[in-house]
Amino acid sequence: MSRFILKGDILYSETPSKLSTWKDGVLIVEDGVSKGVFPEVPASFANAPIHDYTGHLIIPGLIDLHLHAPQYAFRGMWMDEELLDWLNKHTFPIEARYKEAAFAEEAYKIFTQDLRRSATTRAVMFSTIHKEATIRLMEAMEETGLVSYVGKVNMDRHSPDILREESAQASVQDTIAWLDEVAGRFQNTHPIITPRFVPSCSDELMEGLGAIVKERGLPVQSHLSENYSEIEWVKQLSPDSANYGDAYDRFHLFGSEGKAIMAHCNHSPDEEVRLMKRRGTFVAHCPDSNANLASGIAPVRRYLDEGVHVGLGTDVAGGATVSLFTTIREAVQHSKLRWRLVDGELPWLTFAEAFFLATAGGGAFFGKVGSFAEGFAADALVLDEHGIPTPLMKELTPQERLERFIYLGHEGSVLHKYVQGVKLF
């Protein structure tokens, strides 16, 4: 049995709108799981070693529900484009290069090393259509010690020749071969079925992927109602579907057979929202990407109020950074803009709610993750506030310090990271 104690100023989400804060609290960890937070060490743990971070903030690890690993190589570029132009002119040609083993090896090495040093402890990500490159990404992610889902992308139509699979049958067969090759190989890295989005996947391909999901009980990730042009395109391609979400659901790719994450959901109509709630679909809210690619502002307040699962995604490289600190503050900012410019009936997100999305909200996709309540995985960050100026007017509470850190800090400010009770650095 492994047990130890983290001591410091501890914060985690008690509810979506309330943070639990413990000044000089102690987090008890046993076999990689939290036994709870206490004001002092319980007698039964008196002999457990203490990792003493007195004076430092300790928070749950942050969860990234949506990013594109191959796009890390060109993040922060071509941000003056709209979504579909950005994909066709820049993204697809570069993703095609992952067919080259040396290119994929070097790019994924850089990506995974940087992700390891970030505030992210768990992530759900796209690879490309290339089986070997996807396996290399999974190998590299396993080496980081983070917990992740990695998907080999499926695309058999409306894509450039250099990034289109030969046929629906070939795509399904390649996916099965990939799944068989990685089965049982990894402890922390898991496969996830990944149709890129409805426009790039024929009905035959979607049907084949749905059969894999039903047979193997795998989760699904894709994109949903991100952009007006994309939505209109889906209406033309799937005239028999009631809405964009139904174009997935009819093939068992929307959560009916297991967990599903849909990125963006900026313009989901009422019936689509009801379907997401009924299926337990997770929304990956990606504010940085939504702004960069002029996609829209997701109604996250509505999703929270109606009980739809919501977490955050950096959506690299539509988003320019893997920093979930940035994503948290942008979630608040975008919700305020939506309140001011789109729908004054929906209040904006509070800081506590945005923090919840990055921790327990997204963490629910992984199970009991994203909190320090008893029974949750012991994923933790120790934050370094050095270099952030302290205001002179008052002594700050732990919650005020955390908010300032997220608005003023940077990725290098993670002092220590634990995943499932294992200290990574």
From CA 45, how far away is CA 336, in angstroms rounded? 45
Which range is least confidently modeled, 2-16, 366-380, 406-420?
406-420
Which string of DSSP letters, residue by residue, matches 268-326? --HHHHHHHHHHTPEEEE-HHHHHHTT-----HHHHHHTT-EEEE---BTTBS---HHH
Rounded average pLDDT over 355-379: 98
pLDDT recorded at residue 368: 98
Per-residue pLDDT band for 149 (boundaries 50, 70, 90) equals very high
Q: Before 320, cis peptide (omega within 30)?
A: no
Rounded average pLDDT over 75-98: 90
Q: Which residue has the higher pLDDT, 345 or 388?
A: 345
In this structure, the answer to whether residues 408 and 340 fall within a common structural domain is: no
Q: What is the CATH number of the domain that holds 53?
A: 2.30.40.10
What residue ranges in 353-419 does DSSP mark as E strands?
Answer: 380-383, 414-419
In this structure, the answer to whether residues 222 and 259 fall within a common structural domain is: yes
The tens digit of pLDDT for each residue in 11-48 reads: 999 999 999 999 999 999 999 999 999 999 999 999 99
Q: Which residues pair with 336 in a beta bridge?
A: none
pLDDT recorded at residue 379: 99
In this structure, the answer to whether residues 19 and 106 fall within a common structural domain is: no
Q: Tell me: pLDDT of 412 over 70.
A: no
Rounded average pLDDT over 225-241: 97
In this structure, the answer to whether residues 281 and 321 fall within a common structural domain is: yes
The tens digit of pLDDT for each residue in 299-315 reads: 999 999 999 999 999 99
Q: Tell me: pLDDT of 410 over 90.
A: no
In this structure, the answer to whether residues 291 and 385 fall within a common structural domain is: no
In this structure, the answer to whether residues 34 and 122 fall within a common structural domain is: no
pLDDT recorded at residue 303: 98
- Name the residue range of residue 403's domain: 3-61+370-423
User: Which of 366, 390, 408 finishes a domain?
Assistant: 366
Rounded average pLDDT over 256-283: 97
In this structure, the answer to whether residues 46 and 159 fall within a common structural domain is: no
pLDDT recorded at residue 353: 98
In this structure, the answer to whether residues 157 and 210 fall within a common structural domain is: yes
Rounded average pLDDT over 68-88: 90
Rounded average pLDDT over 86-113: 95
From CA 18, how far away is CA 398, in angstroms rounded? 13
Per-residue pLDDT band for 65 (boundaries 50, 70, 90) equals very high
Residues 148, 335, 268: CA angle, nearest 5 degrees: 70
Share of the chain above pLDDT 70, in %: 99
User: Which of 321, 343, 366 finishes a domain?
Assistant: 366
In this structure, the answer to whether residues 131 and 251 fall within a common structural domain is: yes
pLDDT recorded at residue 68: 98
The tens digit of pLDDT for each residue in 154-203 reads: 999 999 999 999 999 999 999 999 999 999 999 999 999 999 999 999 99
Q: What is the CATH number of the domain that holds 229?
A: 3.20.20.140
Domain count, the chain: 2
Mean pLDDT over each residue of the chain, to the nearest integer: 96
pLDDT recorded at residue 77: 85
User: Which of 347, 366, 385 finishes a domain?
Assistant: 366
Which residues are CB-neighbours of 7 under 8 A, at least 6 positions away?
24, 25, 26, 27, 50, 51, 52, 53, 54
Residues 128, 89, 148: CA angle, nearest 5 degrees: 25
In this structure, the answer to whether residues 302 and 407 fall within a common structural domain is: no
In this structure, the answer to whether residues 353 and 379 fall within a common structural domain is: no
With 0.75 as the threshold, say if the pTM is over it. yes
In this structure, the answer to whether residues 238 and 338 fall within a common structural domain is: yes
pLDDT recorded at residue 83: 83
pLDDT recorded at residue 84: 85
Rounded average pLDDT over 54-66: 98
Q: Tell me: pLDDT of 411 over 70.
A: no
